[in-house]
Structure 1
Amino acid sequence: MPDNASDKAYLRQQLRRGRWVELVSLAYNLIEVGISLTAGFLTGSSALVSWGVDSIVEANSAAFMIWRLRGEEKGISQQNVLRRKKVALGVLSGAFAIAAIFILYEAISKLISGNTASWSWWGMGILLTSVVVNPLLAWGKYYYGRETASPSLKYDAIDTMICEYQTIVVLAGIGLVQWQGWWWADPAAALLIVPYIAWNAFHAGRDAWTVQTENPM
């Protein structure tokens, strides 16, 4: 059996690799944000804009995971790890709530106005790329979450796979608009994202409160 020093060295190595997966996730989500929001606003696609807004939240999640993993890698105290967890979850809860409100407003406005989204090769390109990239990122997060006994990394992996579902929903909505002429499919696809985001806002807020009550100031 490896000695304690070897165990700690292995854990630091896996934490570092998990952090690199989150760095790649952050970089890719920022690319998603730039392309999807630009294409969404130019074409009037609520689904693309909503997907881009969710990518902003995902980028925030990756950034805070990097912050947490870096702290654990450096060997900060368990109390500080939990404090970072509380801060990260609180910020994410607020970000999810704001995203849900924005997407709801955007989608309902488009349903009322009846505006039809136009085609965007850039938008379709980033969506199709994400269909391939997201499962790879999710696998990396889950693998290193298991190796480091980190529930947060494994939870983030599940979150990334839910983003895969959202990507498919948005692709379907845009496809129905272009190929079937169903103008309402685009904002409807955006609305399908709202329950997931609202649930994450509640879940993250509840978890943040639990950390606080387990570790009173």
Structure 2
Amino acid sequence: MSIAVDRRAVLRRRIRLLVAATITYNVIEAVVAITAGTIASSIALIGFGLDSVIEVSSAAAVAWQFAGPDHERREKVALRVIAGSFFVLAAYVTVEALRTLVGGHEPERSDVGIALVAVSVVIMPFLSWAQRRAGRELGSASAVADSKQTLLCTYLSAAVLVGLVLNATLGWWWADPVVALGLAAVAVREGREALRGETCCPPVRLDDEDGCDCCAEEDEATS
């Protein structure tokens, strides 16, 4: 079942707005997190801020894709950028988590950091859900992949929040890096799926010239 031209235009505009909101929020988040992390000597908070920078690069790839008149032709490049951002995120989180565990670094309490991450845990899932819904309806693998990047950042936010709270209340400084290592494994998996275009149903390969039209095929199968 094909999507009407007017509906496709609405979905493309919606995705552009959601991407713009994601970029704006992550820029603010990065500045506040890195500043608060530097003040508190918190590797977790600094890493959280740098993760926001990586999320901006992923969202910017989708923004670039949908800025052109024919977004399907830019799908593969956007997917590769998003996949790369997953791998960079996984590498950074792994290195910093291991450094924190080996070094036994105990950061100071950061109320600003706790408040910032708590807000992110609330806002980011909504942005991820809205973009994933629009991307699936439009049949855009890159939009769905970027929504997964945003959702993964939500999980990272929750891990950082737990780590900051446990450190502030119980002195469990090791909680955040342990959880972060698990998230790094998830990031690698999501990066591999994005690289192969497996963000819709059924999987769409990067060498498939027809692009991602998973939602239409799904509708035909269930009709």
Q: Which residue of the partner structure matches residue 205 of structure 2?
A: 210
1 CA distance for matches of 2:86 and 2:148?
16
* 1:40 equivalenced with 2:30 (yes/no): no
Q: Is the 8 Å Cα contact of residues 46 and 187 (structure 1) preserved in structure 2? A: no
* 1:22 equivalenced with 2:19 (yes/no): yes
Structure 2 counterpart SS, 1:193: helix
Q: Give the letter aligned to residue 187 of structure 2.
A: I
Q: Which residue of the partner structure matches residue 58 of structure 1?
A: 55
* Alignment match of 2:72 (pick from 73, 81, 87): 81
The alpha-carbon deviation at position 171 of structure 1 amounts to 0.8
Q: Is the 8 Å Cα contact of residues 55 and 85 (structure 2) preserved in structure 1? A: no
Of structures 1 and 2, the one with the larger relative CO (CA 8 A, separation 6+) is 1
Q: Which residue of the partner structure matches residue 99 of structure 1?
A: 89
Q: Is the 8 Å Cα contact of residues 145 and 154 (structure 1) preserved in structure 2? A: yes
* CA spacing shift, 1:179–1:109, aligned 2, 3 Å: same
1 CA distance for matches of 2:175 and 2:132?
33
Structure 2 counterpart SS, 1:183: coil
Q: CA RMSD in A?
A: 2.6
* CA spacing shift, 1:47–1:94, aligned 2, 3 Å: same
Q: Is the 8 Å Cα contact of residues 50 and 190 (structure 1) preserved in structure 2? A: no
Spell out the pairing of 1:1-217 with structure 2 (5 A cutoff): 7-71=4-68, 74=69, 76=70, 81-82=72-73, 84-207=74-197, 210-211=205-206, 213-215=207-209
* CA spacing shift, 1:196–1:56, aligned 2, 3 Å: farther
The alpha-carbon deviation at position 114 of structure 1 amounts to 1.1
Q: Give the letter aligned to residue 58 of structure 1.
A: E
Deviations 1:45-94 (A, max 9, x none): 232233223222221111111122222xx2x2xxx724x22222222333
Q: Is the 8 Å Cα contact of residues 29 and 58 (structure 1) preserved in structure 2? A: yes
* CA spacing shift, 1:183–1:10, aligned 2, 3 Å: closer
Q: Give the letter aligned to residue 29 of structure 2.
A: E
Deviations 1:162-204 (A, max 9, x none): 3322221111111111111112223223323311222233223
Q: Give the letter aligned to residue 214 of structure 1.
A: D
The alpha-carbon deviation at position 28 of structure 1 amounts to 0.7
1 CA distance for matches of 2:86 and 2:104?
27
- TM-score normalised according to structure 1 size: 0.80
Structure 2 counterpart SS, 1:181: coil
- TM-score normalised according to structure 2 size: 0.78
How many residues are matched? 203
Structure 2 counterpart SS, 1:214: coil
* CA spacing shift, 1:210–1:148, aligned 2, 3 Å: closer
Q: Is the 8 Å Cα contact of residues 47 and 189 (structure 1) preserved in structure 2? A: no
